[in-house]
Structure 1
Amino acid sequence: MISPQKSSRFSPFILITGILAVSTAAIFIRYAQQQAPSLIIAAYRLGLASLILMPFSLRQAQREVSTLPINGKLQALLAGVFLAVHFATWIISLELTSVASSVVLVTTTPLWVAIFSPLFLRERMKKEVWWGLGLALSGGVVVAASQACVWQQSRLVCTSLGSFFQGKALLGNLLALMGAWMAAGYLLVGRKIRPMISLRSYILMVYSTAAVILIGMAAVMGYSFTAYPLPVFGWFLLLAIIPQVIGHSSFNWALRYLPATFVSLALLGEPVGATILAMIFLRETPLLNEVIGGGMILGGIYLASLANRESS
């Protein structure tokens, strides 16, 4: 079993690399979604990532997993379940709402990590966390409303309440929020088990578990795994290499040395990078409501995460 390491081994460069890598995910997904279902995209992302890691990690993983206690094995499998549901909900959300709304909502993850850390990691919470929660959730309402309300001649004009709740964009925003909850579980579990096992062994076990679940979900839905043009498989491969093997693995590496709240705080760089890339490659300009709501969400997450980190 691997012994815990001190935070002095931490390198900010790896975490920054992870932020840059995961920022590309929404763009690759949007291109792949032009011809492939969301569950297929998620299944290929995790499946290819697992295959890439396997030659370098399989023997070590078999040796280390065999030494884990049963609760450690179950925790690693649970992390894979959380990751699978995270990708399924978030990638589907990108079909239904804008990149800005989806990415900003899914990166409320640090807020949920801060809330649940006292329960699962025994970290105390300060009152500032609750202020951050209120600010972030208010921003979430603004972001969701951006699909139904726009500024026209210095006043806010909204569609009917019934249309707002029936719209695809609202469902997309809710799925993105569910993706944030699943990502929070993924990080909390990872923080508990990472000191027990090496990075290569952990990510191979978690990614492969998530891949099996996503492949099963896609098969149940009756999706084809082969009926796509060659460029689509290129997007699948880029998703596996850049945001998954490089991006997510960077965050999993950091979980061994840093609190889950601090690691999740790094995810706040993703909406900025993803929105900029969406403007460049997809010509998708965020609405004023999304900019305001996104700022509120990020401000609330920062306040809550900072307060929780200081109390740990």
Structure 2
Amino acid sequence: MARISPPVALALSILALSTSAILVRWSGAPSVVVAFYRVLFTLLLLSPLALVRHRAEFRSLSTRDGAVATVTGVALAIHFAAWFESLNWTSVAASVTLVQTQPVFVAVGAYLLLDERVTVRTVGGIVLAMAGAAVMSVSDLLAGTAFAGTALYGNALALLGGVMAACYVLAGRSLRQRVALLPYVSVVYGACTCTLLLVALAGGDPLTGYPAREWVLFLGMAIGPGVFGHTVVNWALAHVDSSVVSVSLLGEPVGATLLALLLLAEVPGGATVLGGAVVLAGIVVTARAQRLGT
């Protein structure tokens, strides 16, 4: 990973993350169960390498950092549970866009808690990106689609997922300055897995008895959005300001919307297309502003 440019790694992670909503939609399992197996399989894929190469880092992990990583994992669990459920109630475009509203909360939190500089151009880029996200989020209501009656509930769940994602990014930015990637994600994913398991058991959702197709989808979510998506984003947090990472992730709604068009026959309206263009413009403005430091 040390040989890979952080911007290139971020671009690849966005491509991987863009497949997440499609894989969730294809699954017929309860949303909490889908989230549980996605994170569990990601943890199982990464933990052997983490234990072999970073045994000393695990032993030296402070109690405070372990506690923060655990709380971060709980936030990630709420993020997944809320967002995956939102995909049952609103369109892919609206859900994936609203869950990425976290740059607003990340920028404020980074300024207040991490002492990161947020420039005027950065704020302008975030505002521009969020304006595009707003246009995309109301497209279902304006167009009178199949989700018109449930879109508000689904959008609210996606927004909750966005708030929790902001907590996840901010905590990761702080911890990743002193904790190696694999030990960090192992603790976070472990806490996330345990939290989702408790939620699934409390809700009476079955954990077994699914056809082979579902297990393939669970594994695909772990390899694509899990390993090449979220884990690469965690790596980037040690090399790029959290505001840049968060706003770059707004490229995910655009990619997910295009995949939904091709694979789910969800045709985006004019408002969705316009909003996606504005989101991309906001990403470019913010990334350039952070690079120039103005």
Normalising by structure 2, we get a TM-score of 0.88
Change (3 A) 1:309 1:216: farther
1:138 to partner: Cα distance:
4.6
Please tell me whether residue 254 in structure 1 is matched to residue 236 in structure 2.
yes
Select the residue among 34, 46, 49 that pairs with 2:42: 49
The equivalent residue for 1:194 is: 176
Describe the shift of the 1:14–1:138 C-alpha distance in structure 2 as closer, same or farther (beyond 3 A): closer
The DSSP-based 3-state class of the residue aligned with 2:249 is helix
CA RMSD across the alignment: 2.8
Post-superposition offset of 1:290: 2.4
Which residue does 2:224 correspond to in 1? 242
Task: Specify whether residues 301 and 15 from structure 1 end up closer, same or farther in structure 2 by C-alpha distance, changes over 3 A only.
Answer: closer
C-alpha distance in structure 2 between counterparts of 1:231 and 1:182, whole Å: 30
Highest CA radius of gyration, 1 or 2?
Answer: 1
SS at match of 2:177: helix
For 1:140 and 1:273, how far apart are their aligned partners in 2?
13
Change in Cα spacing, 1:91 to 1:199, as seen in structure 2 (3 Å) is same
Cα gap change, 1:135/1:18 in structure 2, threshold over 3 Å: closer, same or farther? closer
Closer, same or farther in 2 for the Cα pair 1:131/1:52, shift >3 Å?
A: closer
Which runs of no fewer than 5 residues in structure 1 stay unpaired? Answer: 1-6, 151-157
Question: Which of the numbers 31, 36, 40 marks the counterpart of 2:29?
Answer: 36
**2:17 equivalent to 1:12:** no
Q: How many residues align?
A: 293
Deviations 1:205-244 (A, max 9, x none): 1111111101111111000001221101110010011110
The answer to whether the aligner puts 1:98 opposite 2:91 as a matched pair is yes
What is the correspondence of 1:57-72 to structure 2 with a 5 Å cutoff?
A: 57-60=50-53, 62-72=55-65
The residue aligned with 2:195 is: 213
Q: Which among 88, 111, 129 is matched to residue 81 of structure 2?
A: 88
**Residue 62 of structure 1: how far off its partner (Å):** 5.0
Q: Give me the whole-angstrom Cα distance separating, in 2, the residues matched to 1:129 and 1:15.
A: 18
Bigger CA drift: 93-102 or 61-70?
Answer: 61-70
Cα-to-partner distance string for 1:42-87 (whole Å, 9 max, x where unaligned): 0000011111222221355553133133321122112211211111
Distance 1:197 1:189 in 2: 12
- Give the C-alpha shift of residue 311 in structure 1: 5.0
Structure 1 window deviating more from structure 2 (271-280 vs 132-141): it is: 132-141
Residue type at the aligned position of 2:13: G
For the pair 1:122 / 2:104, whether they are aligned, the reply is no
Deviation track 1:178-217 (CA, whole Å, cap 9, x = no partner) reads 2112111111111111121221111111111111101111
- Range with bigger deviation, 259-268 or 209-218: 259-268
Please list, as runs of the form range in 1=range in 2, the aligned pairs for 1:255-294 lying within 5 A after superposition: 255-294=237-276
Q: Is the 8 A contact 1:188 1:260 kept in 2?
A: yes
Give the CA deviation at 1:8.
8.9
Q: Is the CA contact 1:125–1:311 (under 8 Å) kept in the aligned structure 2?
A: no
**Contact 2:129 2:250 (C-alpha < 8 Å) held by counterparts:** no
Identity %: 41
Contact 1:137–1:297 (CA<8 Å) still a contact in 2?
A: yes
- Do 2:102 and 2:162's aligned partners in 1 also have CA atoms closer than 8 Å? yes
| Conserved? CA contact 1:144–1:173, under 8 Å | yes
TM-score (norm 1): 0.83
Does the aligned pair in 1 maintain the 2:6–2:239 contact within 8 Å?
A: no
Equivalent-residue separation in structure 1 for 2:102 and 2:177 (angstroms): 21
CA offsets 1:9-36 (integer angstroms, 9 cap, x no match) = 744332222121111111111101xx21
Report the CA distance between 1:254 and its aligned residue.
1.1
Three-state SS of the structure 1 residue aligned to 2:210 is coil
8 Å Cα contact 2:94-2:138 kept in structure 1: no
Residues 141, 258 of structure 1: CA spacing in aligned structure 2 closer, same or farther, 3 A cutoff? Answer: closer
